[in-house]
Amino acid sequence: MLPKARAIIPKVGRLPGIDGKAKMSKSGGNAIALPASPEEVRSAVKAMFTDPNHLRAEDSGCVEGNVVFTYLDAFDPVHDELAELKAQYQRGGLGDGRIKALLEAIFLELIAPIRMRRAQLSEEMGYVPEVIRGGTERTEATTRDVVNASGPFQLWGSRGGQNL
């Protein structure tokens, strides 16, 4: 009757905040919002924590704990190039500005359709409530069908006047 649930496990767990502390949080002021403007994305990426000992491009850098690389791991679709960038960063010869510019471009490409759709929806103010209402009606109908079909298997409510 009900499909068996399956786990959806992302390849990257909780993302750290752009400051490298704890988790990304809007209330903590260390997040990049989906509707962020290109300027807001640029500012947030520039503020991201990197290796504090990587002062010049020639210096070798640490990838572990580097927030920019954590985000690149999560969002960069070209993993072969990312592996080479990590190796180059660890050897030296790759500045933080270059990896931040790459991350900024990836973010902007990722959120562009979200920003565009949000702008469209803000122009159609009646659309969102209509979608919610339609979804609620479909959910109520499906729930009613499942509850009615599961009659003898129900573990809540009452049977024969006795509460379970």
d(CA 37, CA 111): 9
CB 3 within 8 A of CB 146: no
Contact residues for 106 (Cβ-Cβ < 8 A; gap 6+): 72, 75, 76, 77
26 confidence band (pLDDT: 50, 70, 90): confident
The answer to whether residue 130 is domain-embedded is no
The answer to whether residue 151 is domain-embedded is no
1 confidence band (pLDDT: 50, 70, 90): low
The answer to whether residue 143 is domain-embedded is no
100-147 pLDDT, tens digit per residue, is 999 999 999 999 999 999 888 888 888 889 999 999 999 999 988 888
- How many domains does one find in the chain? 1
What are the residues facing 23 on neighbouring strands? 16
Chain centroid, CA 163 distance in Å: 44
pLDDT at residue 163 is higher than 50? no
The answer to whether residue 58 is domain-embedded is yes
Residue-averaged pLDDT of the chain: 87
CB 157 within 8 A of CB 164: yes
Whichever domain contains 57, its CATH number is 1.10.240.10
Decide which of 156 and 161 is more confident.
156
- Which residue range(s) make up the domain with 53? 38-124
> Quick one: pLDDT at residue 152?
67
The answer to whether residue 82 is domain-embedded is yes
The answer to whether residue 117 is domain-embedded is yes
Write the DSSP symbol of residue 23: B
d(CA 12, CA 141): 36
The answer to whether residue 137 is domain-embedded is no
The answer to whether residue 25 is domain-embedded is no
| Residue 147, token pair as written in the block | 């509850």
What are the residues facing 73 on neighbouring strands? none
Write the DSSP symbol of residue 3: P
pLDDT at residue 77 is higher than 50? yes
Spell out the alpha helix ranges (H) of the chain: 38-46, 67-75, 79-91, 96-123, 127-149
